[in-house]
Amino acid sequence: MLSDGTPVALVTGGGAGIGAAVCARLAAGGHRVAVVDRDAEAATRVAAECSGLAVACDVTSDTAMGAAVDEVETWGGRLDLVVLNAGSVGGQSGIDALDVAGYRRVMGVNVDHVVFGLNAALPALRRAGGGTVIATSSLAGLVGMPGDAIYTLSKHAVVGYVRSAAASLTGEPIRVMAVCPGFTDTALIADIRDRFGGFPLLGASDVADAVSSMVEKGESGECWFVQPGREPAPFRFRDVPGPAEAGAPPPLHGDG
């Protein structure tokens, strides 16, 4: 146990890409960082670079996520920040010729892991007196992305879960947020990078900087967009219209 009051962070998918950049950014900012990844070798490499802890974990398993949280809390003496960043691309349209195994894989990594991670982390965060959970969604969690309905479904689910979880935890000193980056130059888009041509891509460090800003000043329930050349900020959701007042005429066709 290393606890001396230094904040402890757990980052899933920390062995590469955005996750590795987040680990480096948090370590530079004073966190002790636990690097959680299914690739034990990658986790060990990143953990060595930030003087942290490497944890090999299948994030799609609730028991494995629970064990990872327990290991990190025991190592650090506390848990203050959880970044649920592990993710998978869809790779199929999702509207015809459905690859069911691929669908289950994407939902397991992108959705189940966020649910399991939050549930596993809450007791430890409460023992620390509060904390922060940030899940990695995507711009595909805010708008439809043609050609990959399964990925879009999973990322919309993360946004909805985060907003609901934050509301459910109102009154507790625990923030739950989502980061929603645009296309980011990582291994996840390696096979399709040539399709982007001159389209501007984010770097992993851009997303890590946004996560750092969220830790510093984000409010629970927020979903921050990250786009090249723009300052990351909370996405402003439109309010849903309430019911019409009693006796009011029904809306005209095309209204409401």
Q: Which pair of structure tokens corresponds to residue 12? A: 């899933």
- Edge-to-edge strand order for the sheet containing 81-84? 53-56, 32-37, 8-12, 81-84, 131-136, 174-181, 223-226, 233-234
151 is catalytic: yes
Per annotation, catalytic residue among 75, 151, 161, 225 = 151
Query: Can you tell me the distance from the alpha carbon of 88 to that of 110, in angstroms, rounded to the nearest whole number?
Result: 6
Q: 49 exposed, middle or buried (CB, 10 Å; 0-12, 13-18, 19+)? A: middle
Q: 230 exposed, middle or buried (CB, 10 Å; 0-12, 13-18, 19+)? A: exposed
How many CB atoms lie under 10 A from the CB of residue 189? 16
Contacts 24+ apart (CB under 8 A), 235-241: 235/142, 235/180
Q: Are 16 and 186 in contact (CB under 8 A)?
A: yes
Query: Can you tell me the distance from the alpha carbon of 253 to that of 47, in angstroms, rounded to the nearest whole number?
Result: 59
The residues annotated as belonging to the active site are 151
